[in-house]
Structure 1
């Protein structure tokens, strides 16, 4: 046949529980550091950054007419963030709410929720621009 891919001296026996615990901890810390926590430089998570970039590509500047939130969310999911649409829309809603962040980065039209805890309308009923 052929020669083995790795020499026998490179293989070490490790209990399955120890190997899984070590690898899961590494994965969990990586996920928290890169996705769940906002970046220190600008305070944005990757999904927020992807939203703003997609809106810039759609030319949704303050002087333009707003577009449906569903269009923006669809672009983000299709090009940059292949996860559920609800997480992307929730991030868009948060960037629109003046009570959630100090300086809203997105100008929204429609029902984007309120301080009392009412949820935002469905994305087909709301519009947004930068």
Structure 2
């Protein structure tokens, strides 16, 4: 019984660590979908990890740079590695590059988000 409880505790720890991770694709969603999603994650968790494989690495870097250049985020950590993925068409493993970028909120993040929200409301004709 102890082993089961310990296993469940380990699963819970792993799940809480991934709640603020966004796995970026370069084909599934537009760039600003990830920018806006990252802002929402930072509102909830104070930081966000952007993760991407292969061709999605440039999308991860673009999202991170947009957030940094607009004053929303500061870079905390960059992790690079290679992962082995089984290629379904050929049936053998392929090495893919992987990047993880951890971003944290800037000191004026909440202020910038409030200004953006106000601009959205005024732009829509709502007051």
TM category (shorter chain) comes to 0.3 to 0.5
TM-score under structure 1 length normalisation: 0.32
**Structure with a larger share of its residues in strand:** 2
TM-score under structure 2 length normalisation: 0.32
